[in-house]
Amino acid sequence: MLRAHYIAKRSYATAGGASQVIGGWTDRLKKLMNRASEKQTEEADKPATEAKAADAKVASDEAKMRKAATFAAREARRKAMLQKQEEKRTREAAAKVAAMPVPDAVKAALTKAGLPTEDLRTVALDDLAVKGKVVASFMESSQVLLSHTEITQIQTAADLLRTASLPRAPIIKHPVAKWFLDQQAAKQLPPNVMFVPFNKSKKLELRKLF
C-alpha cells in the first residue's frame, strides 16, 4: 500500500516536473515567435520609416534654404538702402561744394543767357522764356530754390539777386516741386495728388519752366 502510494506520488511529481519543463519551453517558444514577428514588422515598416526620415530631411533642408534666402534678401535690401543713403549723402555733399555764391550764380546765369552783367537793374526779365532759362540756371548753380511767388515777382536781374539773397527756410523737395523743376526728376506723383495739364496756359508754362 505504501509502495503504491509512493509510486503514485513519484509519478505525479515526475508529471508535474515534465509539465513545468514543457511550460518553460512553451514560453521560450512564444518569446521567440514574438521576437520574430516584431522583427518582421520592423522589416516591413523599415521602408516607410526610411521614407518618413527622408521626407523630414527634405523638409528640413527646404526650411533651411528658405531661411537662408530670406536672410539673403533682407541683407540685400539693407545693403541697397545703405548704398542709396550713401549716394544721397555724396550727392548732397557734392552739391554743397559745387554751389556757387548767389551773386556769382546770378552773373553766370545771365552770361549763359547772353545778357549783360554790368548793371543788373537794367537787365529786364520780362520775356518768360529768357526768365525761365536764367532762373533755372541760377537755381542749378546756386542750389537755391525759389518759390513760384518769388519767381513771379522777379522783373529784373537785380530783383533776382535781392530775392535769392534773402534768408529762407529749407525747401522740401516734394515730388510736385520736382515735376515743375524737372519733369524727368519726378517719375511719379504722390498717390493723393493728381496733376491735370492745361494746353496753351501761360501760367502753367511759367511754372513748368521753374
Dist. CA 32–CA 38, nearest whole Å: 10
Show the cell assigned to 141: 548753380
Enter the C-alpha cell of residue 154. 522777379
Q: What is the pTM of this model?
A: 0.38
What is the rounded distance in angstroms from the CA atom of residue 129 to the CA atom of residue 159? 17
Please give the distance of CA 91 from its chain centroid, rounded to a whole number: 22
What whole-number percentage of the chain has pLDDT above 90? 5
- Burial (CB count <10 Å: 0-12, 13-18, 19+), residue 146: buried
- pLDDT digit string, tens, across residues 158-204: 999 998 888 865 554 555 555 555 554 555 665 666 555 555 554 54
